[in-house]
Amino acid sequence: MNTALYEFLRSQVPEECIKKDEPMGKHTTFRVGGNADFFVEIGSSEELVNIIKYLKETDHSYFILGNGSNLLVGDKGYEGVILHLGDRFARIRIEDDVVTAQAGALLSTVAKAAAKNGLTGLEFASGIPGTIGGAMVMNAGAYDGEMKQVVTQVTVMTEQGEILELDNETMEFGYRTSIVKNRPLIVLWAQMTLAKGDMREIQEKMDDFGNRRRSKQPLEYPSAGSTFKRPEGYFAGKLIMDAGLRGYRIGGAQVSEKHCGFIINVGNASAADISELMDEVVEKVKDQFAVTLEPEVIRIGGF
């Protein structure tokens, strides 16, 4: 164990917020992954900036983690520090029609809080498994809704600790991308402006989206949701199906028979199984249709 690093982390956060050799399968929706050297629950932007400054000065690797819903950690684990923006970084404020949430707040929780306050506009997000921070990075969306439609301001931090307020235009939201994905910026807060609505209608819409999601997606298996971005002019799931890959399997990883756009862990998959299957899907679709699928899933650590 790196004693100096551990002692520094202890000086910044409560000891119970630091875990050593933490299995990353506990923190990703694929439910796979080796151990991270250190796993730290962050509770404030001050903790975050102090730790990042130290890690950069001492040349330690780090990764900012939300809900782990778009992440595949290698079986050999992660040599460095996972900085988790979770329950300690998940406050939600609602004033009139404005919802402000910290990066660690679950998107589904924020959507439900908005609904309880009679605010409409986030129903599409009620079934998305990520956090507000991840939603800003990826411009999360579903059912013709996306974060760019409701976000008015995002508070981010640079690696040097500078706090910036970015408006909707400055965020450069695009399909599964934003300025935060393309630059070393860390989401702290997001502000969303919604509209007043009828609570019953909002709940009915959320229930409808939930029913549609359950009927069409393999939610009974660990996965990262849609594994690939939608190629322009195509649907990833249909390309994969047309390539004859429905149910295709490597080890415990499988192309879902229910929705070919999902790679699922059908039991005791390794990260290597999932990674290899992703690569094979990309290769076979490209060979047959000359379309290159781009994974939404981020891979970190040793495979």
Task: Name the nearest CA neighbour of 32 among 78, 79, 87.
Answer: 78
Annotated domain spans of the chain? 3-87, 90-215, 218-300
* Residue 142 confidence (pLDDT): 87
**Running DSSP on this structure, what letter comes out for residue 88?**
G
pLDDT along the chain (303 residues), means of 10: 91 96 97 98 95 95 94 97 96 97 96 96 92 94 92 94 95 94 94 96 93 91 94 94 97 97 96 98 97 95 94
Contact 24, 73 (CB under 8 A): yes
- Across-strand partners of 95? 98
Q: Point out the catalytic residue in the list 45, 226, 256, 270.
A: 226
Q: Which SS3 state, helix, strand or coil, does residue 95 take?
A: strand
Strand partners, 23: 35
**CA 152 to chain centroid:** 20
Fold of domain 218-300: 3.90.78
Closest CA to 295 of 246, 248, 225, 247: 225
Q: Determine the Cα–Cα distance for residues 104 and 298; give it in Å rounded to an integer.
A: 18
- What pairs with residue 196 in β-bridges? 119
Q: Which of 176, 256, 270, 275 is catalytic?
A: 176
Distance of CA 11 to the CA centre of its chain: 29
The continuous run of DSSP H or E covering 116 comes out as helix 107-116
Q: Token digits for 191? A: 């502000």
Measured distance CA(175)–CA(157) in Å, rounded: 23
Q: Do domains 3-87 and 90-215 have the same CATH topology?
A: no
Q: How far is CA 260 from CA 2, 114, 136, 232, in A?
A: 43, 32, 26, 17
Contact residues for 235 (Cβ-Cβ < 8 A; gap 6+)? 261
Task: Tell me, yes or no, if 226 is annotated catalytic.
Answer: yes
| Annotated catalytic residue, options 22, 41, 123, 296 | 296
DSSP 4-25: HHHHHHHHHS-GGGEEEEEEGG
Q: What is the CATH number of domain 3-87?
A: 3.30.43.10
Question: pLDDT at position 1, please?
Answer: 66
The phi and psi torsions of 224 (rounded to 5 degrees) equal -110, 25
| Angstrom distances, CA of residue 229 to CA of 45, 142, 226 | 31, 12, 7
Whether residue 296 lies in the annotated active site: yes
CA dist 179 → 124, 150, 187, 284 (Å): 22, 17, 11, 31
DSSP string, 125-194: GTT--SBHHHHHHHT-EETTEEGGGTEEEEEEEETT--EEEEETTTTT-BTTB-HHHHTTEEEEEEEEE-
Which CATH class, in words, describes the domain spanning 90-215?
A: alpha beta
d(CA 68, CA 302): 17
Query: What tokens does 162 get?
Result: 């500078």
Q: Is 275 a catalytic residue?
A: no
